[in-house]
Every structure is written in structure tokens, then in C-alpha cells.
Amino acid sequence: MQRSQLVIVAGFPLALDRRYHAETHMWVLSTGPGRVRIGMDPLGIETSGTLAQLSFVPAGTELIAGRPFGQLEAAKFVGPLVSPVSGAVLATNDKVAVDAGLAERHPYGAGWLIDASLSAAGELPGLLADPAEISAWFAAKIADYRFRGVIAQ
């Protein structure tokens, strides 16, 4: 990622070279025709608490938008990692499965979660794609989470 595509919004890094699913805080980065890399943005991670474990369905598993592709455990709370796209899992990040903290330290880089092929490219337009729109959404989320005490001021 080019440095110019990473900005800081109210203290949180935001990569502008990818798309975002507004509800789940998952990012989707195009890695080739019909292929994407998926990860979680720092706000999604922050609201989860200190990550203890991440686990994924095996490579080859079908992905359905809105359905889990793995589980995240933080504070003894296990919850789904929800896929923002449909397709199939091509690979999972073994490093982040061994060291969940990698997703906290490098949310846009080494802390990626899965690589996937897309079955319905039509779903991508449902994601936030315009940098100005992404920045506004991210800033509004931070303000809302701070207002509700979800994250620290």
C-alpha cells in the first residue's frame, strides 16, 4: 500500500486503497481479476477487545455474504467473522491464526484474514469504495463509538 493511501482519522489509521463493509468493519482489497483479500479494520478490532484467537473455515469453503467465514475470540467471547462477499476461500492467513495480535498491529497488512475468489462481483458495489465516502463513514463511526463509550476518547 502506498503511504499516501493510509490516512489517520481521529487517531485511527484508515487505508483508502480498498473497499469497506460498513456494518462488519471488514475491508476488501482487490488482488486480481475476481480475487480479493479480506481483513478487519482497526475500529472493528478495537470494538472486539483484545483479540485472543482467530480461526477460519478451510480453504475451498464457499463464502456467502453475511455468513461467517471464521470466528474471533476476545474476552472469552466467541463471535463470527462475517464475510462481506460471496465466493470461495482461497487461503487463510496462518500467521494471524497463530498470533491474533498481528491483526491489531498490522490491520491493513500482515494481519489480513483470508484470500477469496468472488462469485458475485455484483456485491462489491454494495461496499464503500469512494475514499471521501470511506473517510466520512469512518470518522462518523469513531465519533459515534466515542459518544457511546464503546472506544476510549
Q: Which residues pair with 128 in a beta bridge?
A: 20
Shortest approach of another protein to residue 38 CB, angstroms? Answer: 17
Which position among 33, 58, 60, 122 is part of the footprint of another protein (CB under 8 A)? 58
Rounded-to-10 torsion of CA 63, 66, 70, 73? 170
* The one among 4, 60, 94, 152 contacting another protein by CB under 8 A: 94
CB 104 within 8 Å of CB 43: no
DSSP letter, residue 64: -
Q: Are 25 and 46 in contact (CB under 8 A)?
A: no
Site for another protein contains 56 (CB under 8 A): yes
Say whether residue 14 binds another protein (CB under 8 A): no
**Does 17 sit near another protein (CB under 8 A)?**
no
Total residues contacting another protein (rule CB under 8 A)?
Answer: 31
Q: Which is nearer to another protein, 51 or 128 (CB)?
A: 51
Q: C-alpha angle with apex 116: 24 to 5, nearest 5 degrees?
A: 65
Interface positions with another protein (CB under 8 A): 47-53, 55-56, 58, 70-71, 73-80, 94, 97-101, 145, 148-151
